[in-house]
Structure 1
Amino acid sequence: MTTFADLGLSPKLLKALEKTNLQTPTPIQAQAIPYIMAGRDLMGLAQTGTGKTAAFGLPLLHRLLDIGHPPAPKNVRALILAPTRELTLQIKDNLEVFTKGTPVKVTMVVGGASLFRQAQALSKGSDVLVATPGRLIDLLERGDVKLDQCAYLVLDEADHMLDMGFIHSLRKIAKHIPLKRQTMLFSATMPKDISEIADTYLRDPVRVQVTTAGKTADKVTQGVHFLPNGDKARVLEDYLKKHPTEQALVFGRTKHGSEKLMKLLAGWGFKAGSIHGNKSQSQRDRTLTEFRNGELDVLVATDVAARGIDIPTVRHVYNFDMPNVPENYVHRIGRTARAGAEGTSVSFCAPAEMGELQAIEKLLKKPLPILGGAPWSADMVAAAPKPGQNRGQRPARPQGGRPQGGKPAAGGKPQQARPAAKPKPMGGGNVPRRAEGGKPAGQRRTS
């Protein structure tokens, strides 16, 4: 059995590892660390929760420990780019555990935080800078940071960077970094564009793959419910009540819809919080800390925050809205069954979301088990409101004679929902309208 000591890591790093839960290297760590320590460019493919941060972080820190003198003012020796603020914070926290008792300095810069304070933190230089692309470009343009002495570049969650439109930012940043460098690219999936990025920024890279594209965590029990949008909240409530002592992560598609769902759950008595692009960095950090400490039972999040959530106690993932990028399904449910634990994933599929479900099943190369309802017919799918067309309104009651799908009434104005009465059992339909936010699908916010 391979150990961290067998990999040739610095005694200082091995001492720091003794104080963590990391006992033996995961497959991605055991395969990637020797190549990175040897100075090779590397392209690593592994699903979420497999220890990618340590896979690049430990050998990177090992090489930096050999330098022996601090970096020059405003200069950075190693740059790690990540797509979201949550993931950036997670990487920084992990690296600081490994660097405890060493002179290696780790700095983080992200959007939503004080630009002035971040510039101050960089003024004395940094061994490792963990950054979101947008904020790093801000600091480069101000002259607050220099990358001309940067010898190491890590692109973490590279596929998500592409999803969020960071390819142009990456090109801008790369111009500031010497061509003579070691570059590492890590990704949970390997779409065609990732291979093109690897060809552009990596030199003769070794490829390490410990999973297949689209493969989900082995210990996640998955399933799908077919139900109208208006019934989703009550079905979610039933699931949450079945597991009152276990933490759950709920994914919405839009910022507005996720916030609205969180408030609805809180009104029903759940200890719920939310993280999305409309929250400030301090709000997101505080909510994640509360969830991590067990002060919250339910966390509602958008995809922009999905990959920064590494909380082993999450047992259930609910896809309240189906993701419009199929790879994001893998990332979402990868938030449970962390570090070998077991977890469940339940997806709610409305008629307008059949296309998203089919794309996910194509990626997985298998259908999701049906937990309730039946797949929507082609006629139902065709009649369903498309994103941005009142999607999320509750369906008409069969006996009520109300317009279906929010169609205009005789006066030409959309039919207004009646005030919610006393909550009824599952399927009663008394759920506030537009629980999903009603904004166009696929909106993203960069960090």
Structure 2
Amino acid sequence: MLNKYLFRRYLLFAITLFVNAMGIAYITKAALGTSPITSVTYVASMFTPLTMGQWTIVLNLLFVLLELPFMTRRQVREDLRIYLSQVVITFFFGLCIDLCMYIIRDLNPVDYISQMANLLIGCLILALGIALKVKADVAMMAGEYFVRVLSKHFRKDFGYMKLGFDWSLVAIAVILSFCFMGGLYGVREGTVIAALLVGPIVHFVSPWYRFIDAWITAPKVPTVQTDTNSIPTPHTVITIAREFGSGGHLLGEMLAKRLGIRLYDKEFIHLAAEKSGIDEAYIRRNEQSIPSFWLKCILTDGNESSRQQSLSPDDVLFLAESNIIREQASKEPCIIVGRCADYILQNAPSLIKVFCYSDRESAYQRCTTEYSVPADKARAEIAHVNRNRIAHYEYYTGEKWGDPHRYDLMLNTGSIGLQTACDLVEEYYRKKTTDKA
């Protein structure tokens, strides 16, 4: 029997199909080229009697049939519900596309600015729909499922397989356009813009949908967990998130000496290398940054399950460090600098979350005098490192880095100095450990 939470997920998924269709309709009506996934169906509709929605049904049913040769009988049995649901989804989505095209039939922007505005509106609507679809997490559209089948069969990265699939459709659309219409139609700069924008937008809007969780998720029954995510953390742990140049590491060193507890910062590099098998030099270069952030968003469309199909070295590193953080916090009182530790240990009962920040001039002075950053490069380095830390934190946690609501102590070390900051954290630590005792 379909419980109410599963029903709500299906209902939400159906809504997302309409929202996605409206986004595609806006992008298409902008007349700057349609999105990559609908490029073939749009071009085909231009020289045949069938509509874009009808061609969407035809093409997606073809994908459903093509999946079978690449699936084992066991895979078909295990995924039978999702496999069969593609047929229903395909017909509904095709109808939604034609309905949305009809609803905005009078929208025909003439000048380029209006066309670009409609394109961007369409990208935003499509991104909102995709983010909702990810939240529903109950079914897959035929194109996406086809790529998943191929990536499993050929043991290739889902993200890159999806990227290749999308642009293969664009290539086919271009060929059809030249063969049947004698020129390039339906594929333009808007196709590229949609491909580049939608994924990152999905990533940034997804956290705003968390209010839906309670509506689509059944209350959890408390159970005894045995995995690393639930390692008990009975000790008082201090986590220090910090802006570059605020002296967060120095504060950690001072606290470690005063409190007689261990500091974990650079030590994570060696521990993470052992646990993940990743070279230490790679970790030093890429730790706490997202060097391919934009590409990751494009490859996954913000889809968490897609990202988990094949973890990148950055993801493996993050998971390894997360496990190390939980393990060390379960063993002893300690201080952990950076590495999203405040988020990873957020359910620990005795956690002190500190965020260090500083005014620009104080950060500049500390970087040039204590960190040996050249004066002419210090300001750019501060901005660069902070951007990386923001991207890293928000990519892996979905939370806002530096949000005062997430921390126990927000310390402006440029104003109060490290000594006073250390006094404040020490006082709070001793109070917390005394109350606990």
TM-score class, shorter-chain normalisation, is under 0.3
Normalised to the residue count of structure 2, the TM-score between the two structures is: 0.24
Point out the structure with max Rg over C-alpha.
2
Q: Whose strand proportion is higher, 1 or 2?
A: 1
* TM-score normalised by length of structure 1: 0.23
Say which structure is richer in helix.
2
